[in-house]
């Protein structure tokens, strides 16, 4: 699959998850087979006002390429301005070593504080404005422009096909469709049919998203939608290895799941990198949820879980992880 001049062998993407898919986690996902990763959603208005925290969200490393930056907003000029500055690496607070490979526009966020400003999934109710935003952004940057949307606002207005046609007419180089409405938030079912209708309607790559928690889910999604690629979100939390598993499946190769010990090693690496990127206080606090995902489903981890929730330093995390490794080694048959 090609998006603009970018080649993706399998079309395996990591979704943006605000507050979760930071640099440290994205790097791990790339090392396990994600072919494209994206920043968390970034406010175009925040960038416009040179908010330092907002700009920092656009930081990435060379280990993450190809890399997209996702922006949200509802004003075409401000969206275009921030897209152009991002594409030119013109935010001193990011100090990125390279420029992003594409700009993604958020048309799926369901949060009231976003939609009440006509941003995120509210753009599904204003198709003309959505088209204008894409046209403005497209004419401001030379990298590909993509759009991430939902199936519609609610059950009565599932207009992903109409919106996809409009954004493609205005220059979008690919679309990603999360097969749930705004009203559904993250509840099932995921409508795979509507993704297949979008695929039939537009002549740019279509990426399917929603409810992919296993390689079986990935195969079913690709099969039912005929999409060019898939985007994994909650399914890879604590399980970035799912990218490798899906790759193996697509290649028809055997796959062996990593041991608990290996998973713990990866969790520690993520924690160490997060501390290097964000500082210990913020990183360790944010790592608590990641660590719980990494040990999810393992027996005998209640005590570790309790300690994770009050950990404040990297050395505490190291201690918890080595304790789990020792316990695991002792209990191994
Ligand atoms: C905590 C959380 C944060 C999210 N942040 C973003 C975001 O910043 N940008 C975006 O386009 N989607 C965001 N999403 C939506 C996901 O990218 C994805 O579309 C959704 O989780 C559906 O996929 P899944 O069912 O595989 O998790 C977020 C979802 C969650 C649960």
Strands (E), the chain: 2-3, 6-7, 12-14, 37-38, 42-43, 67-72, 102-107, 145-152, 174-181, 206-209, 229-232
Collect all residues with Cβ–Cβ distance below 8 Å to 249 and sequence separation of at least 6. Answer: 215, 218, 219, 255
Q: Is the peptide bond before 211 cis (omega within 30 degrees of 0)?
A: no
Half-sphere CA count of 227, side-chain side, radius 13 A: 31
The domain over range 260-331 is classified in CATH as 1.10.390: no
Specify the pTM: 0.97
Burial class (CB in 10 A: 0-12, 13-18, 19+), 329: exposed
- Give the residues surrounding ligand 1 with Cβ less than 6 Å away: 15-18, 20, 40-41, 70, 106, 108-109, 148, 178, 186, 209-212, 233-235
Question: Would you kindly state where each structural domain of the chain is located, as residue ranges?
Answer: 2-251, 260-331
Of 38, 94, 109, 176, the catalytic one is 109
pLDDT for position 96: 81
Q: What is the mean pLDDT of each run of 10 residues along the chain (333 residues)?
A: 96 97 97 97 96 92 92 98 96 84 98 98 98 98 98 98 98 98 98 98 98 98 98 98 98 96 97 96 97 93 95 97 91 72
pLDDT for position 333: 65
The fourth-level CATH superfamily of domain 2-251 is Aldolase class I (3.20.20.70)
Q: What are the C-alpha distances in Å from 195 to residues 155, 186, 240, 285?
A: 15, 16, 24, 37
109 catalytically annotated:
yes
pLDDT for position 332: 72
For ligand 1, atom 15: residue with the closest CA: 17
């Amino acid at each position: 699959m090609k998006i603009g001049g970018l080649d993706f062998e399998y079309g395996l993407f990591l979704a943006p998850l605000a507050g979760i898919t930071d640099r440290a986690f994205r790097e791990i996902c790339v090392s396990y087979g994600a072919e494209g990763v994206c920043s968390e959603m970034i406010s175009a208005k925040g960038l416009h006002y040179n908010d330092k925290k907002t700009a920092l969200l656009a930081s990435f490393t060379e280990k993450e390429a190809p890399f997209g930056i996702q922006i949200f907003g509802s004003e075409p000029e401000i969206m275009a301005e921030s897209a152009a500055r991002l594409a030119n690496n013109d935010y001193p607070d990011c100090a990125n070593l390279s420029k992003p490979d594409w700009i993604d526009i958020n048309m799926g966020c369901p949060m009231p504080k976003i939609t009440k400003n006509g941003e995120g999934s509210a753009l599904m109710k204003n198709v003309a404005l959505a088209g204008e935003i894409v046209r403005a952004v497209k004419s401001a940057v030379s990298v590909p422009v993509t759009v991430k949307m939902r199936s519609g606002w609610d059950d009565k207005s599932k207009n992903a096909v109409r919106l996809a046609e409009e954004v493609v007419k205005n220059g979008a180089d690919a679309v990603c469709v999360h097969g749930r409405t705004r009203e559904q938030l993250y509840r099932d079912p995921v409508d795979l049919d509507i993704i297949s209708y979008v695929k039939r309607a537009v002549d740019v790559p279509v990426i399917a998203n929603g409810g992919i928690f296993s390689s079986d889910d990935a195969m079913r999604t690709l099969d039912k939608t005929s999409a060019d690629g898939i985007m994994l979100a909650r399914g890879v939390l604590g399980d970035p290895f799912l990218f490798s598993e899906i790759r193996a499946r697509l290649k028809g190769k055997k796959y062996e799941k990593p041991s608990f010990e290996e998973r713990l090693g990866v969790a520690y690496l993520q924690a160490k990198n997060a501390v290097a990127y964000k500082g210990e206080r913020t990183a360790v606090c944010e790592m608590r949820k990641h660590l719980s995902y990494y040990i999810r489903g393992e027996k005998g981890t209640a005590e570790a879980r309790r300690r994770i929730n009050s950990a404040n330093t990297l050395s505490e995390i190291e201690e918890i992880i080595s304790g789990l490794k020792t316990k695991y080694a002792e209990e191994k048959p």
